[in-house]
Amino acid sequence: MSDPRAALGILISGRGSNMQRLLDAVDAGEIDASVALVLSDNADAAGLSLAAERGVATCAVARSDFSSKPEWEHAVDAVLRDAGANLLALAGFMRVLSADFCAKWHGHLVNIHPSLLPRHKGLNTHQRALDAGESNAGCSVHFVTAELDGGPVIAQSEVAINVADTADTLAERVLAKEHLLYPQAIGWCASGRVALTGSEVQFDGRKLDGPIRV
């Protein structure tokens, strides 16, 4: 019989610290899923070796090996589907995915972003929060859509910004929150408790009026 659980595809570009937390959560039974594949756009990503050491299937699909972004995305899509993945978690994946790719995986493509969305989409989130004089920062788990960091938010976790904070010290505390938030949110998605209907996030069959605060 085939495994009825969700099959997780984890996409990384570097060390994959959130990937490691997801693998830990799967091993501990906190996420009711199997891990189909860890895929990277970078053959030298440290996270690939870490995943392989744990017996997880890995694959590198380098953008430089393809003449166009659509060809590369087609290859990524094919590898993930061949592996049996049906839920994708971006974990430090540094490529912007096209509207076409996002549409193919609508409701099954999730990302964690190091800010309290919709604040500070894109890069350098911690320094931008400091420059704006904000009192809090945090991270957000959201469904991925064609708009960069603009998909419906599932859950958020917050940290206070201290007077002495630098971008590095703030990033360290936010990352600790990411490592707690992401496995919990992916677990909800894997079990079907969280679902995306159109542009509406539902939790246990009811529309969320705002992100779940963790």
Residue type, 185: A
User: Parallel, antiparallel, or unpaired: how do β-strands 87-90 and 58-60 relate?
Assistant: unpaired
Indicate if the alpha-carbon torsion angle 138, 143, 144, 150 is positive or negative. negative
Give CA–CA dist 35/10, Å, rounded. 8
Catalytic status, residue 113: yes
Rounded Cα distance between 195 and 72, Å, is 28
Instruction: Give first-to-last CA distance, the chain, whole Å.
Output: 36
Q: Which of 74, 106, 108, 113 is catalytic?
A: 113
Asked if 176 contacts 129 with a C-beta cutoff of 8 angstroms, the reply is: no
Full DSSP string of 90-151: ESS---PPPHHHHHHTTTSEEEEESS-TTSS-SS-HHHHHHHTT-SEEEEEEEE--SSTT-S
Report the distance separating Cα 7 and Cα 72, nearest Å: 22
The catalytic site residues sit at: 113
